[in-house]
């Protein structure tokens, strides 16, 4: 007969049965190996962040010390010889200063964009006395800068000003703090997400959602978009939406957000850039969603300022009462001072005035608190940039969802900021397009902030936590097929509405003298189109190639294509400025220039046009292609066009890289290879 516990031959050696440890659902033991992984990863991130900060500081310092003023202005980093035209205030109480060139000429087109952080200085102003603001508005001749706080006295005395790009180093403090909070998190949602990103924990899911029974608000979503929405509801921790060009990534995100709000859930939406945030606000506002844009009004598009938190505070009915109370407060205070000076005020009267002043101040505080509470409580959807999500105001609200758009454009330390408030996280982006802009590099991508949090999640997660959209609604199939094969495993499918569309399908396009081939490579090899380096900027231009681009543009315009439907893009800012100058000089119709877009490839990511002409610039005997070697930049360039893509470049220089050799071979197969000799 087998012995039982109580029949143990030596009672003294009996051991009590171990007590069962009770754990919370999300809790787990963290063993030493896990702790070491977490510590090592965040130590590495902090090291990279410090290097990036030093690099940015050095870059701005070099701009001020090493570059001549004219080089800085030519490089789009400063505007000199400005005069102050006007001083006024915006609804948020910021002081707005409007400047124009003293020569009355138009401002340089590619310099100091809306939202840029700038330093204001005079002719002989000490560095420490230069206020920093943000570009609020600008047009062809005027630029308005918003400042918070009191401006130095020299601003009123100076008659010549300069604006120059300034480093926004406060963002690094916010990112460091976020990394600290994420690293030290324990038994919380952010700890769960951190561990999943490091492969230390597996994500969890709710019961599967039936696509056929799901109450979609947007009935036009295709099958895979619908599946993405359902997967977002199944995921308890994180879902990645991989959105190649033109596949409707934004529509999926909007549907997820609207579904959450319909269930009375709150959503924090974040993106790395102000432009991406503003686009999401526009889309949500079109659906009458209760959206509030958080951030500096100066860095928000004018189109959506009515949706900003500061605007809503200023537009609240109680705001008028606050203004009246403040006016009354100022009146009583001045009356009291005058009577005190004249010594005609009695003690009782002074006491009454003091009591009234205190009561008015209390009324103002109460009204402001009520406005804040009402506006904030009605903001079911809050939109902010990654760094903007560090605003303390966000801590006053909990969020069921955090949506990260353009997740492959933000560095990991900044992406953690909105995720600190996460219930569940939906990340959307495309790691086959351009990565974040970073200035410091160690060894390989693993040693760089260019490796995004989206990519690390993508490597760690299984198929249940990620989905790729594959039906695109932008490009003719002959434009789509090459990037599909090179970047998306040949899985992209052109929707039937766009697969064969032509320029001649557009109104007013007569097609006269127009080559209807959707994708063209115009080869300038052997024509002597030499590249030129721009002094002081490190950028490149190609004047002869630019002239050929203008000729191609002229053909398209004569065929009836509207200038608003055309974009000319280039990887190099020097070529962008050269083309802009040529067009402004050659055009008989200034309105035509305003409608035609000329910009860099990087700036055009996320955009589209019916016709896109790409000037590749590089032409040299050494086969040097610079950052054209990053094929993700070319993926962006060749996926912006809907109906016609024209690439202009030197095959002899470019084809030393296999990617460009394959591109030319593809163009030959679709009848799109042309020599500029012809």
Residue 384 · residue 270 · CB < 8 Å: yes
Q: Helix H segments across 235-316? A: 249-262, 274-286, 309-315
The tokens for 668 are 């030959």
Tell me the β-bridge partners of 86: 98
Beta carbons within 8 Å of 159's beta carbon, 6+ residues apart:
83
The pLDDT-based confidence of 587 (bands split at 50, 70, 90) is: very low
pLDDT above 80 (res 183): yes
**The pairing of beta strand 673-675 with beta strand 566-570:** unpaired
Q: What is the mean pLDDT of residues 55-82?
A: 77
Q: What is the 3-state secondary structure (H, E, C) of 112-171?
A: CCCCCEEEEEECCCCHHHCCEEEEEEECCCEEEEEECCCCCCHHHHCCCEEEEECCCCHH
Give the separation between CA 419 and CA 404, rounded to whole angstroms: 9
**Mean pLDDT computed over 8-12:** 44
Distances (CA, A) of 33 to 36, 38, 79, 191: 5, 9, 54, 16
- Cβ–Cβ < 8 Å for 557, 563: yes
* DSSP string for 458-476: HHH--GGGEEE--EESSS-
Confidence at 593, pLDDT banded by 50, 70, 90: low
Cβ count within 10 A of residue 280: 25
Q: How far apart are CA 627 and CA 630, in angstroms?
A: 6
Over the chain, what is the mean pLDDT? 85
Mean pLDDT throughout 540-548?
A: 95
What are 169's two structure tokens? 């180093």
Which residue(s) pair with 363 in the sheet?
A: none
Segment 218-223 mean pLDDT? 95
296 in Cβ contact with 148 (< 8 Å): no
**Nearest 10 degrees: Cα torsion 383, 387, 393, 398:** 60
Average pLDDT over residues 538-556: 94
Distances (CA, A) of 184 to 35, 307, 365, 413: 10, 35, 37, 14
When pLDDT is averaged across residues 143-166 and rounded to a whole number, the result is 86
pTM beyond 0.85: the answer is no
What's the pLDDT at 20?
A: 46
Q: How confident is the model at residue 127 (pLDDT cuts 50, 70, 90)?
A: low
Asked if pLDDT for residue 9 goes beyond 60, the answer is no
Per residue in 462-494, is it b (16+ CB within 10 Å) or e — as a string?
A: eeebbbbbbbbebbbbbbbbbbbebbbeeebbb
146: β partners = 96, 134
Helix (H) or strand (E) holding 610: strand 609-615
């Amino acid at each position: 007969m087998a012995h039982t516990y109580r029949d143990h031959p030596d009672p003294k050696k009996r051991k009590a049965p171990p007590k069962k440890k009770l754990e919370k659902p999300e809790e787990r033991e963290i063993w030493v190996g896990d702790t070491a992984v977490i510590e090592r990863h965040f130590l590495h991130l902090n090291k990279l962040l410090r290097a990036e900060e030093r690099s940015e500081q050095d870059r701005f310092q070099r701009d001020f010390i090493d570059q001549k003023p004219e080089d800085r202005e030519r490089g789009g980093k400063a505007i000199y010889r400005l005069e102050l035209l006007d001083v006024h205030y915006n609804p948020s109480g910021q002081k707005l200063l409007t400047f124009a060139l003293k020569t009355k000429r138009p401002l340089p087109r590619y310099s100091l964009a809306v939202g840029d952080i700038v330093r204001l200085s005079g002719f002989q102003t000490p560095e420490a006395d230069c206020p920093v603001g943000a570009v609020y508005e600008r047009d062809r001749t005027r630029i308005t800068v918003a400042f918070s706080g009191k401006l130095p006295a020299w601003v009123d005395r100076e008659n010549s000003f300069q604006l120059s790009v300034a480093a926004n180093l406060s963002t690094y403090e916010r990112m460091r703090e976020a990394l600290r909070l994420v690293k030290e998190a324990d038994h919380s949602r952010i700890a769960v997400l951190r561990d999943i990103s490091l492969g230390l924990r597996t994500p969890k899911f709710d019961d599967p959602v039936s696509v056929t029974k799901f109450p979609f608000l947007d009935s036009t979503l295709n099958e895979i978009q619908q599946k993405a929405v359902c997967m977002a509801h199944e995921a308890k921790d994180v879902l990645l939406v991989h959105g190649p060009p033109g596949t409707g990534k934004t529509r999926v995100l909007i549907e997820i957000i609207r579904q959450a709000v319909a269930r009375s859930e709150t959503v924090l939406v974040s993106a790395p850039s102000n432009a991406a945030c503003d686009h999401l606000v526009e889309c949500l506002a079109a659906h009458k969603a209760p959206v509030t844009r958080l951030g500096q009004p100066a860095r928000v598009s004018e189109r959506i300022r009515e949706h900003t938190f500061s605007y809503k505070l200023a537009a609240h009915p109680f705001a008028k009462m606050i203004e009246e109370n403040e006016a009354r407060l100022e009146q009583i205070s001045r009356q009291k001072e005058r009577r005190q000076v004249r010594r005609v005020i009695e003690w009782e009267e002074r006491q009454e005035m003091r009591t009234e002043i205190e009561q008015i101040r209390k009324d103002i505080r109460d009204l402001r608190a009520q406005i804040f509470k009402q506006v904030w409580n009605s903001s079911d959807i809050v939109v902010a940039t990654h760094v903007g999500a560090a605003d303390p105001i966000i801590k006053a609200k909990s969020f069921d969802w955090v949506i990260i758009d353009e997740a492959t454009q933000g560095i990991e330390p900044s992406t953690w900021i909105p995720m600190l408030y996460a219930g569940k996280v939906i990340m959307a982006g495309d790691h086959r397009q351009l990565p974040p802009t970073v200035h410091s590099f160690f060894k390989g991508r693993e040693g760089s902030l260019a490796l995004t949090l989206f990519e690390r999640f993508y490597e760690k997660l299984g198929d249940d936590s990620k989905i790729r959209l594959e039906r695109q609604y932008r490009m003719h199939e002959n434009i789509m097929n090459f990037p599909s094969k090179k970047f998306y495993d040949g899985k992209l499918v052109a929707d039937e509405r766009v697969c064969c569309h032509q320029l001649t399908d557009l109104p007013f396009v007569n097609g006269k003298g127009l080559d209807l081939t959707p994708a063209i490579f115009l080869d300038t090899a052997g024509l002597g189109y030499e590249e030129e380096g721009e002094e002081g900027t490190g950028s490149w231009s190609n004047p002869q190639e630019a002239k050929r681009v203008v000729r191609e543009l002229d053909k398209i315009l004569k065929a009836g294509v509207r200038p608003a439907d055309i974009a000319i893009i280039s990887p190099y800012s020097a070529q962008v400025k050269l083309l802009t100058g040529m067009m402004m000089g050659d055009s008989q119709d200034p309105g035509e220039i305003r409608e035609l877009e000329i910009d860099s490839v990087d700036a055009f990511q996320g955009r589209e046009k019916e016709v896109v002409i790409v000037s590749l610039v590089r032409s040299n005997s050494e086969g040097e292609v610079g950052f054209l070697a990053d094929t993700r930049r070319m993926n962006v360039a060749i996926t912006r066009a809907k109906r016609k893509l024209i690439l202009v470049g030197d095959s002899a220089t470019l084809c030393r890289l296999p990617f460009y050799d394959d591109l030319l071979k593809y163009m030959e197969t679709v009848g799109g290879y042309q020599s500029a000799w012809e």
